[in-house]
Amino acid sequence: MQYHSLKPDRLLETQRRLSQRIEARFPDSGLSEVAEELTSIAQEAAVRAEQIRRPNFPLRAAIVLLLLGALALGLWLAGSLQLKANLGEATGLFDFVEKALRAAVFLGAVILFLITLEIRLKRRRALAALHELRAIAHVVDMHQVAKDPEEIANRDRAGTEAPDQTTKTLEDLNRYLHYCSGMLAIISKIAALYVQEFPDAPTVSAVDQIESLCSGLSHKIWQKIMILDEFLDPQKPDRQIRGPG
């Protein structure tokens, strides 16, 4: 059963290796800085996911104490009702029952609030982390959106010098785009960590949205890779490259 769930340490190790490859191929580039930031996010995600998974023991202890108090109150009310019935005070008995029911409803509402409070606190923390992942996914996309395979190919054919930019050759651009796609895949896996042991419906829906976002962005990158592949190897006609999704 070792492959039935994501391992935060393995995910962090994968992102670190990817970050090292980006730094080795494109040192001091903006993409390498984003990769380093994503490594920090992956490290924090492992801690956050574990904190979300763990029960909130102080809150649960408060719920147990309230339940015990409600039980004691119920037993006391039962004894009081029996005493009043023996005394034959019908009017006072009805007033007492009405007040007891109001108190029971109020106490039940408080207990229900505390029971759902733990889930709402965990949900808020997970959604804040997922918002951070959504933002960095767009940052990764911004680093590749201006990369044009045809522009580099035309420059190579014309023999002009490459401007001061990260991707000077088609091979550089090929690696660059693959790295961007890999980082988007890592972002999706980090998002999945938060709901792996916290199957909260709104949080799961937010994770699905991030996965769809990363898949769509990665699909656009693979369209560029398909165009790039034609420039890199024009001798192979009609070669198809399938991107993710």
Tens of pLDDT, residue by residue over 107-118, are: 778 778 877 888
- 101: burial class by Cβ within 10 Å (0-12, 13-18, 19+)? exposed
The confidence score (pLDDT) of residue 150 equals: 79
The confidence score (pLDDT) of residue 239 equals: 45
Q: How far apart are CA 167 and CA 45, in angstroms?
A: 31
Strands, E assignment, 87-180: none
**186-223 tens-digit pLDDT:** 999 999 999 998 889 999 999 999 999 999 999 999 99
- Say if residue 154's pLDDT is above 80: no
Question: Quick one: average pLDDT of 28-42?
Answer: 93
Q: How far apart are CA 232 and CA 153, in angstroms?
A: 9
**Which amino acid type is present at position 58?**
P
- Say if residue 143's pLDDT is above 60: yes
- 186: burial class by Cβ within 10 Å (0-12, 13-18, 19+)? buried
Task: Indicate the range of 5-9, 153-157, 228-232 predicted with least confidence.
Answer: 153-157
Domains of the chain plus CATH, in order, are 8-232 (1.20.1050)
Give the DSSP H or E segment for 25.
helix 8-25
Is residue 130 very low, low, confident or very high in pLDDT (cuts 50, 70, 90)? very high
- Say if residue 182's pLDDT is above 60: yes
Phi/psi for 5 (5° steps) reads -150, 160
- Say if residue 69's pLDDT is above 60: yes
Q: Specify whether the CB–CB gap between 189 and 215 falls below 8 A.
A: no
Is residue 175 very low, low, confident or very high in pLDDT (cuts 50, 70, 90)? very high
Q: Specify whether the CB–CB gap between 161 and 144 falls below 8 A.
A: no
Higher pLDDT among residues 93 and 121, named by residue: 121
Higher pLDDT among residues 152 and 137, named by residue: 137
The confidence score (pLDDT) of residue 82 equals: 54
* pLDDT above 70: percentage of residues in the chain: 77
Question: Quick one: average pLDDT of 55-66?
Answer: 78
- Say if residue 56's pLDDT is above 90: no
Residue 151: name the closest of 221, 225, 228, 239 by CA. 228
The pair of three-digit structure tokens given for residue 208, joined into one six-digit string:
């699905």
